[in-house]
Amino acid sequence: MKAFFNLILYKLVHSYVKIGLHLFYKKIEVSGLENIPKDKPILFVANHQNAMMDPILIATHNTRVLYFLARASAFKNKIAAKLLNAIHAMAIYRVRDGVNSKKLNIAVFEKCIDLLSNTECILIFPEGSHSIKRQIRSLRSGFTTIAFNFLEQNTNKELYIIPIGLNFTDTISYAEKVHIIYGKPILASAYFNANNRRESIGNLIEKVSNSLKEITVHIADTKEEKRIPKAAYLQPKITNKKLEQGFYDTSETIPKKRKKHTIFYYLLQLNSILPFVVWYFLKSKIKQKEFISTAKFSLGLTIFPLTYILQTSLILYFFGMTISLIYLFFTIGLVYVTTKTN
């Protein structure tokens, strides 16, 4: 019964979050879904620019059910922990968490191997932390530990590693565009030599790193980022080739144009005074830019709909069912139109 309840909860949260994402982003494009095997254990590895937006974008735009690793500090709040558990998140510990991180992580890795042994899928961010920089940073060896331990315990099974490139026109702003690219599957056993594990780790890390650099915009020199138009971030293959050819002149900078809001955005503000006031006080408390989008989206899933429900209820009380339904459908349409035109 508990397993059935958890499945229903997962499906409900999954659907609600996916709808929310398409009301938050102007466009979400997905490429390479054909690279995902239907009945094999998979270790998905992705770049990590945008805090919690990264795993939920991947989980809701994938042909498989995912389990993913998230930093343990995110589980401190009981409500947050329940929601994270509902979407199959597992805590991964760092030294700074003040616990026996190595021992606890061994248990997490063992759970990952058990899931893979049951033909499940694991999502991991091998850079180890998030960064707003548009580059693939050095990869940590945790995913290779999971992969090679699985192969040692499952000599008759195949394990695929699939790189995922997350490409944003802007990781901070509302109503931006995202391109999720699933790369070609990598057969983990092709890089596993039981007699030389250290070399195996190095070779697999190099292969995955190079694969990620093909499906994300990788800017080694941050000065070049100032010359690249936003639309180019969604086409990593083309943009990376231009970067290699020195197409983008670092001596000049494209002036940043302030985003012009449409009339729909101001109508949305007028209709959402409480959520915007909450955001006004919340944004000053966000210390890391990578969490700005996550905070905005969290408000979009909670405070905004609660406000609209309250306002619809008040209109129902004072003006009746017809007017309240007109207001409700107007509000839903306003949110959609604002996102797609802003």
CATH of the domain at 181: 3.40.1130.10
Q: Per-residue pLDDT tens for 45-86?
A: 999 999 999 999 999 999 999 998 887 777 777 767 777 777
User: Residue 78 belongs to what domain range?
Assistant: 2-216
In the numeric block, the tokens 């939920």 are attached to: 56
Residue burial 231-270, b: 16+ Cβ < 10 Å; e: rest: ebbbebeebbeebeeeebeeeeeeeeeeeeeeebbeebee
Residue 183 pLDDT greater than 90, yes or no: yes
CA dist., res. 230 & res. 227, Å (int): 9
Q: Per-residue pLDDT tens for 287-303?
A: 889 999 999 999 999 99
Q: How confident is residue 7, by pLDDT bands cut at 50, 70 and 90?
A: confident
Whether residue 241 lies inside any domain: the answer is no
By mean pLDDT, which of 29-38, 62-71, 254-263, 312-321 is the weakest?
Answer: 254-263
The answer on 151 and 10 residing in a single domain is yes
Percentage above 90 pLDDT, the chain: 71
Whether residue 221 lies inside any domain: the answer is no
Residue 96 pLDDT greater than 70, yes or no: no
- Return the number of other C-beta atoms located less than 10 Å from residue 55's C-beta: 25
Average pLDDT over residues 7-29: 92
Q: Per-residue pLDDT tens for 222-232?
A: 777 878 889 99
The answer on 97 and 27 residing in a single domain is yes
pLDDT of residue 5: 78
The answer on 292 and 197 residing in a single domain is no
Higher-pLDDT residue of 42, 102: 42
In the numeric block, the tokens 């997490």 are attached to: 108
The answer on 187 and 321 residing in a single domain is no
Whether residue 249 lies inside any domain: the answer is no
Q: In the structure encoding, which two tokens stand for residue 207, read together?
A: 């292969």
The answer on 154 and 271 residing in a single domain is no
Whether residue 143 lies inside any domain: the answer is yes
Whether residue 182 lies inside any domain: the answer is yes
Q: How confident is residue 257, by pLDDT bands cut at 50, 70 and 90?
A: low
Higher-pLDDT residue of 77, 158: 158
The answer on 274 and 159 residing in a single domain is no
Beta strand spans in 15-119 (E): 27-31, 42-46, 66-71, 89-92
Dihedral over Cα of 134, 137, 139, 140: its sign: negative
Last residue within a domain, chosen from 216, 247, 273: 216
pLDDT of residue 252: 60
Whether residue 282 lies inside any domain: the answer is yes
Q: Are 109 and 146 in contact (CB under 8 A)?
A: yes
The answer on 140 and 208 residing in a single domain is yes
Query: For the chain, what is the mean pLDDT?
Result: 91
The answer on 320 and 179 residing in a single domain is no
Whether residue 24 lies inside any domain: the answer is yes
Average pLDDT over residues 218-244: 88
Task: Quote the number of domains for the chain.
Answer: 2
